[in-house]
Amino acid sequence: MHGSTGMGEEALPRSFTIERENLPETVQGWLRAVGLGDEELVELIFTENEVLLRRPMSPELREWARGVSDRYDKMFRELAGI
């Protein structure tokens, strides 16, 4: 779904769900490496600088996980010196 941003641009979706088998073999390998190789559906989330792959979650869990992943990202950046 596309929507207008009011600035003459089309807003792109921030996430969508796709069947794992429709992903390239390389991406399916990544999913197997993180234990998601048996999932039928995978959610792709686009952030400003990242593309995240995860099993689809309920909206409540998604909100909770957002805070957890934000803290994880901050810690990783500090450790990596980014």
d(CA 46, CA 5): 17
What pTM does this model have?
0.50
Query: What is the share, in percent, of the chain residues with pLDDT greater than 90?
Result: 6
What the block records as the tokens of 68 is 């957890």
Residues in the chain, pLDDT under 70: 1-13, 58-59, 61-69, 72, 82
Domain that holds residue 45: 3-80
Number of domain units in the chain: 1
d(CA 80, CA 3): 37
Q: How far is the CA of 48 from the CAs of 14, 21, 28, 34, 37, in angstroms?
A: 10, 26, 23, 23, 26
Is 37 within 8 Å of 27 (Cβ atoms)?
no
Residue type, 21: E
